[in-house]
Chain A
Amino acid sequence: MHIPDGYIDLPLALLFGALAVVILSVAARRVNGEISDARAPLLGVVAASIFAAQMLDWPIPGGTSAHFVGGAFAAILLGPHLGALCVATVVTIQALIFGDGGLVVLGANVFNMAIVEVYVGYAIYRLLVPYGEFQAAFAAGWLGITAGALTAALQLGLSSAFQYQLLTTLSIMGVGHLALGLIEGAITAAVYRYLARARPDLRPNTAPEVSA
């Protein structure tokens, strides 16, 4: 879902970059007023572990494999604000070390993957958790990544640099990620199931944010 430079118009990239900065600044303030110096290591270490966990191949029927993305999972584990900051760090590292995505478009990618995916995933989890937490984790992973893809499709469809119409980008990326998102949902639920048993204290019902 990383959009490289050259796909979307400069004004759109700057607009979504500015939106990402504003929302992440609010998120940083909402987490106990401000993230303290002493709390940053926990976030950084979790971001590094989510990055590493994305490397694991998951088997898919038909002989192929998929990767964990972890946006909704980070939101469930850390809470939405810390989750957004954590995934924003992962997306930035991916761009600045591995060149995934781009430089000018970095803010737009952060908006899609660290803000839309995380907050939508978390909202769905909170909405559905009374009906079953594993089902809620599944839906959060599934629909969170689909929402992020739809925002990317919106940016692409509105760009004059990308000749496909908005309806085309929305339908192709929306339908594609509704299908691919099922895998992310299943992985999120599988990992959540383990964590809920191994460290029940980490579940969001027990504490709104991770405490150490």
Chain B
Amino acid sequence: MAGSDLLDRTVAAIAASAQWFLLAEELPDRDGFLQAVTPTVKLVGIAALVALTVTQRTLSTVVALALLAAALAVLSRVPARTFLGRLTGPPAFALVVVAPQAFLMGGPSLGSLPLSAAGVDYVLTFVVRVTACVGFLSVLLVTTRFADLLGAFRRLRAPAIAVSLLAITYRYLLLFFAELERMVRARRSRTIAEPSLRRNWRDSGHFVGSFLVRSLERGERVQRAARARGGTGPTPAQPRQPLGRADLAFGLVVTLAVVVVVA
């Protein structure tokens, strides 16, 4: 593979990641069902739904839970392309990983095919279960601003230092994506002849090393500035809000799902 192709792919990967950020800040502002739910309630409710899904071993149940995730996405006005885009990767990988079980599992075969009926059921259940879990996680992430998610962690008494670290990392990610993209473009513009593999690795080592040194020096400056101010202080979060109708409705959905599945 040509070195310049790799650099182009790196730029594309950075741009795609930055796009996730913009989406993550845009969709939570839409007028939808989950957007109206308090982040703490939403985080706990989605975690409960994922935990419930993880414990299920029957196809019909995991299909119902996957449909619930899709319904939440529709009610929250998540664009189908965004939702399906997040939903395709992990289930496709899961299918590749567990597909051999359709042949390996014992028991009666599926008609005249060399497939085990139990194996096919296991593969389908596994893949749909992963799909449902990814679906629940996706609706949480695309309907909640990261700052609100951090606020929810704080209200759930997560250690303040862990929340601060996440907040600072998030704050600097876009900046570093932009810096890395600039550096990659500069390197691309300097690449006249295709370098040998050995040269390419040496250059990449210098490149990442140089990027990390710049980042570290920036971190040291930010640390000194924070120390001069007396610390970073707690991550700001919106004050506690009283539970609204959307919270009660979502709580009811989660409770119903748990009761119906467990009963």
Give chain B residues whose Cβ lies under 8 Å from the Cβ of A191: 205, 208-209, 212
Pair A59/B220 contact, Cβ less than 8 Å: no
Q: Does A90 contact B (CB under 8 A)?
A: yes
Give chain B residues whose Cβ lies under 8 Å from the Cβ of A41: 168, 219, 222-223, 225-226, 232
Residue from A49, A65, A164, A199 within 8 A of B211 (CB atoms): A49
Pair B20/A45 contact, Cβ less than 8 Å: no
How far apart are the CA atoms of A13 and B24 in the complex, in Å? 27
Interface-side segment among B107-115, B134-142, B240-248: B134-142
Pair A195/B233 contact, Cβ less than 8 Å: no
Give chain B residues whose Cβ lies under 8 Å from the Cβ of A65: 1, 6, 9
Interface 1/0 per residue, B117-137 and A, CB below 8 Å: 000001000100110111011
Pair B180/A55 contact, Cβ less than 8 Å: yes
Q: Does B58 contact A (CB under 8 A)?
A: no
Q: Does B169 contact A (CB under 8 A)?
A: yes
Q: Does A210 contact B (CB under 8 A)?
A: yes
Q: Does B210 contact A (CB under 8 A)?
A: yes
Pair B55/A10 contact, Cβ less than 8 Å: yes
Q: Does B185 contact A (CB under 8 A)?
A: no
Q: Does A4 contact B (CB under 8 A)?
A: yes
Q: Which residue of B lies closest to A67 (CB)?
A: B13
Give chain B residues whose Cβ lies under 8 Å from the Cβ of A28: 159, 161
Pair B212/A10 contact, Cβ less than 8 Å: no
How far apart are the CA atoms of A140 and B167 in the complex, in Å? 29
Give chain A residues whose Cβ lies under 8 Å from the Cβ of B156: none
A57-B6, A63-B1, A198-B209 known; A45 vs B168 contact (CB < 8 Å): yes
How far apart are the CA atoms of A41 and B3 in the complex, in Å? 34
Instruction: Tell me the minimal C-beta distance from A155 to chain B in angstroms.
Output: 13
Interface-side segment among B30-38, B43-51, B73-81: B43-51
Pair B197/A97 contact, Cβ less than 8 Å: no
Instruction: Tell me the minimal C-beta distance from B185 to chain A in angstroms.
Output: 13
Give chain B residues whose Cβ lies under 8 Å from the Cβ of A51: 169, 173, 176
Q: Does A158 contact B (CB under 8 A)?
A: no
Interface 1/0 per residue, A44-70 and B, CB below 8 Å: 111111111101111101011100100
How far apart are the CA atoms of A89 and B171 in the complex, in Å? 13
Q: Classify chain A's interface size.
A: 35 or more
A44-B167, A163-B122 known; A56 vs B212 contact (CB < 8 Å): no
Q: Does A151 contact B (CB under 8 A)?
A: no
Give chain A residues whose Cβ lies under 8 Å from the Cβ of B105: 163
Pair A104/B201 contact, Cβ less than 8 Å: no
Q: Does A112 contact B (CB under 8 A)?
A: no
Pair A52/B173 contact, Cβ less than 8 Å: yes
Instruction: Tell me the minimal C-beta distance from B54 to chain A in angstroms.
Output: 5
A6-B54, A64-B1 known; A198 vs B126 contact (CB < 8 Å): no
Residue from B51, B86, B132, B167 within 8 A of A104 (CB atoms): B51
Pair A44/B94 contact, Cβ less than 8 Å: no
Give chain B residues whose Cβ lies under 8 Å from the Cβ of A63: 1
Q: Does B202 contact A (CB under 8 A)?
A: yes
Residue from A25, A44, A164 within 8 A of B169 (CB atoms): A44
Q: Which residue of A lies closest to B167 (CB)?
A: A44
Q: Which residue of B lies closest to A57 (CB)?
A: B6
Q: Does B61 contact A (CB under 8 A)?
A: no
A56-B184, A195-B213 known; A104 vs B204 contact (CB < 8 Å): no
Pair A49/B165 contact, Cβ less than 8 Å: no
Residue from B21, B200, B218, B220 within 8 A of A97 (CB atoms): B21
In the A-B complex, the 10 residue pairs with the smallest Cβ-Cβ separation, listed nearest first, are A44-B168, A194-B209, A190-B205, A37-B231, A49-B215, A45-B219, A5-B133, A38-B227, A48-B172, A52-B176
Q: List 27 A-B contacts (CB under 8 A).
A: A4-B94, A5-B134, A6-B53, A6-B54, A7-B130, A28-B161, A41-B225, A44-B168, A44-B172, A45-B216, A46-B219, A49-B219, A53-B211, A59-B201, A65-B6, A77-B212, A92-B166, A96-B146, A96-B149, A97-B170, A103-B137, A104-B54, A104-B133, A161-B54, A186-B201, A191-B209, A194-B206
